[in-house]
Structure 1
Amino acid sequence: MKLEVRRGDLVAQRAGAWVVGVLEAGGPLGGAARAVDRATRGALAALLDSGDFTGRWLELALLHPGHPRTRRVIVVGLGSRAALTPHRVRLAMAAATRRARELGAGTVATVAHGASAGGLDPIVALTATVEGARLGHERLTAFKTEPGPKPLVRITIFERWKPISARQRRAVARGDAIASGTCLARDLANTPGDALPPDALARRARVARDLAGASVQVLGVPQMTRLGMG
């Protein structure tokens, strides 16, 4: 699945799903949420007015707006502005990404959540959004009878006002690398020992080392004995 940042207005993009975050505030919609509400002729405001969605952290709602550029709008709660952190953004984007994959959306268009109305630093918000997208998308399917929903093809994070800077591109690359490393560690930890014996685990670690330019130390029985490892 490709992750990228591009200049553009979210509601001008064709995608299998738009993902928009909403704060739990009760006030006027701001930022991307306001733009999505206008593009969907008030569907987001109507959802909030109904009380079926409040913006509570990790709350999800699905709209089918009949819009020519998207079939779905996935709305995710960001919680209160005072409590909003990069970690909360990360988990909110992960939840929305999982839902998009379950729905077979194919492609997702979104924004850096928390960067405007949420008050977070734009680069921090962008990094957290990227991390959440990767973490929410990846899953270990090798040992499942049914692989589950198809992977998404692409998630694009749109910046409306300014040209994309080198700093933003570095934030995307950094966030994707951190999250991909986390996914690798999860996969290795969750793989049964009979499917990943020590020599195979060492090979996987060396491959990851070569790709990331990192360092790896593989211990044999004598070294582990000296360290008192069980």
Structure 2
Amino acid sequence: MPPTISATDRPLEKLTGDAVVVGVGKGPDGPLTTPGAEAVDRLLGGRLMGALADLGARGGEDEVTRLATFGQGPFPVVAVAGLGTPRADGGYGSDAVRRASGAATRSLTGRASVVSLLAAVGGAPDDERLHAVGEGALLGAYEFTAYKSDLPADRPAPPRAFELVVPDAGAAKSALARVRAVADAVALTRDLVNTPPNDLFPAELAARGAAAGKKAGLSVEVLDEEQLAAGGYGGVLAVGSGSTRGPRLLRLSYRGRRARRSVALVGKGITFDSGGLSIKPALKMEDMKSDMAGAAAVIATVCLVAELGLPVDVTATVPIAENLPSGSAYRPADVVTFRNGKKAEITNTDAEGRIILADAIARAAEDSPDYLLETSTLTGAQTVALGGRTAGVMGSDDLRDAVVAAGSRVGEPMWGMPLPAELRRGLDSATADFVNANPDRLGGMLVAGHFLAEFVPAGLPWAHIDVAGPAYNTGRPWGFTPVGGTGVPVRTLLATIEGLIGD
């Protein structure tokens, strides 16, 4: 069961739980106290800060120090989360609070009830701060245990409960309702990304997406192979031709009350990417179950928009295929015809994401949306350029910059990238309208952006978010980010859409 979250304005000494979480900052001579830490310190007879100093705590980001209270307070454990260096005004930004909250709850696995005073880190506990604390707590508590045989279904673990200490519990309800909705959307994305590909093949991803859409009250459409052929989706069919499990196209549509804007979402749904005939190296190929992270993100985002009841029309177009080598697989030198009639010469079957996205973008554009947002684990070049935590964003200048700003607000780092005109020449083909991949690997992320741009109608503001690294964490957990599926960029997509509504 997902964890619960609530707020209380009762005095700390009248609360109980398995643990209490507080935050401290990082100062030049050791940890800096906060109102929450001071409250716990009083309960412990003034021993908290001294104990932290004795243990060598510094208050840095991702630092969590757990202390036993030995009966000196109403909680057996105090988890002290580092907030990092304070801002010039002495406070801490939402991202620092969110990250500290997530790091603390990750460290408290097995603790069913957790009381958090991280809302009290300086400044008024407004909706933004409450959202950061609650979101960090829920995202940090995420665990994917569906395939753990030592967790029997008939004896599930008790649900975790988080309680935030605030001045006015009633005023916090609306903020926490939004926290719950966002955390559920991120968890859905993570669950889909973490599911092994033998269980999440194209038809199954389409079915799970359709089920989530119906639950959210969305209009749902799923196209199978025959319908894809009739609709001219040559790219989706080509990439899916090597697998015995046929491709699909999923469409989820939300119509908001009093909507004045319409947004098209597109997400890449490669349920497993072997590279096809241009096969990948065996090392780390298992991570390619995450190649449908873009699809998972847009499915969750349109459902989240519906749950929040935003005044906007949103349609998610999700192309889904499995890229495998076989006697029926598409080949280098093949020419693929897309839904909009354009043709590409295939030079690399491992550049398959752009092939299915081309059909999906062409279809999404037929709805004449005001904006088009696409996200995908598109290129390994993204990780070469920006690493594993920062997504690359390309497209129309204004919308690209709006996406980057939205990512900054919610704590999902984004970096705007150019589309230099000279790189488009790398897609020239003597046979077709263009090739799908340039053998010159320089600027690979940007060349892929040029390919996608070929399918965006003139005048349509668009942005592509390359999350090849950020969508799937293969390193150590950090902040509220677990190993495996991260849920990036659901929160950025939501923040971008809300910003477009307000324009």
Pairwise CA distance, 1:17: 0.4
Report the counterpart of residue 12 of structure 1 in structure 2. Answer: 14
Matching residue's letter, 1:77: G
Contact 1:62 1:73 in 2 (8 A): yes
Report the counterpart of residue 140 of structure 1 in structure 2. Answer: 144
Report the counterpart of residue 156 of structure 1 in structure 2. Answer: 163
Q: Secondary structure at the match of 1:179?
A: helix
Matching residue's letter, 1:72: V
Measured at CA, do residues 28 and 193 of structure 1 come closer, stay the same or move farther in structure 2, by a change above 3 Å?
closer
2:112 is the alignment partner of 1:106: yes
2:73 is the alignment partner of 1:71: no
Pairwise CA distance, 1:175: 1.4
User: Which has more strand, going by share of residues?
Assistant: 2
Pairwise CA distance, 1:69: 1.6
CA distance in 2, matches of 1:120, 1:215: 41
- Give aligned-pair identity as a percent: 32
Contact 1:37 1:44 in 2 (8 A): yes
Q: TM-score w.r.t. structure 1 length?
A: 0.84
CA distance in 1, matches of 2:138, 2:86: 24
User: Which has more helix, going by share of residues?
Assistant: 1
Give the unaligned 5+ runs of structure 2: 235-337, 340-354, 358-503
Pairwise CA distance, 1:31: 0.9
Matching residue's letter, 1:132: G
Root mean square deviation, CA, Å: 2.7
2:213 is the alignment partner of 1:209: yes
CA distance in 1, matches of 2:43, 2:196: 48
Count, aligned residues: 223
Q: Please say which of residues 38-47 and 15-24 is displaced more in the overlay.
A: 38-47
Q: Secondary structure at the match of 1:143?
A: coil
Measured at CA, do residues 19 and 200 of structure 1 come closer, stay the same or move farther in structure 2, by a change above 3 Å?
same
Contact 2:23 2:34 in 1 (8 A): no
2:132 is the alignment partner of 1:128: yes
2:231 is the alignment partner of 1:229: no
Q: Secondary structure at the match of 1:20?
A: strand
Q: TM-score w.r.t. structure 2 length?
A: 0.41
Matching residue's letter, 1:90: R
Greater Cα radius of gyration, structure 1 or 2: 2
Q: Secondary structure at the match of 1:79?
A: coil
Q: Please say which of residues 199-208 and 172-181 is displaced more in the overlay.
A: 199-208
Q: For 1:181-192, what aligned pairs fall within 5 Å after superposition?
A: 181-192=185-196
Pairwise CA distance, 1:72: 0.7
CA distance in 2, matches of 1:61, 1:131: 21
Give 4+ residue runs of structure 1 displaced > 6 Å after superposition. none
Measured at CA, do residues 70 and 44 of structure 1 come closer, stay the same or move farther in structure 2, by a change above 3 Å?
same
Contact 1:97 1:137 in 2 (8 A): yes
Measured at CA, do residues 51 and 142 of structure 1 come closer, stay the same or move farther in structure 2, by a change above 3 Å?
closer
Q: Secondary structure at the match of 2:114?
A: strand
Contact 1:109 1:157 in 2 (8 A): yes
CA distance in 1, matches of 2:73, 2:121: 26
Measured at CA, do residues 120 and 216 of structure 1 come closer, stay the same or move farther in structure 2, by a change above 3 Å?
farther
CA distance in 1, matches of 2:125, 2:206: 39
CA distance in 2, matches of 1:88, 1:27: 15
Q: Please say which of residues 21-30 and 92-101 is displaced more in the overlay.
A: 21-30
Pairwise CA distance, 1:2: 1.1
Give the unaligned 5+ runs of structure 1: none
Matching residue's letter, 2:75: T
Q: Secondary structure at the match of 2:56?
A: coil
Q: For 1:5-44, what aligned pairs fall within 5 Å after superposition?
A: 5-25=7-27, 26=30, 29-44=33-48
CA distance in 2, matches of 1:204, 1:94: 28
CA distance in 1, matches of 2:121, 2:214: 38
Pairwise CA distance, 1:152: 4.4
2:96 is the alignment partner of 1:88: yes
| CA displacement, residues 75-133 of structure 1 (integer Å, 9 cap, x when unaligned) | 111111118332222221111111212xx2221111343x542x476211110111111
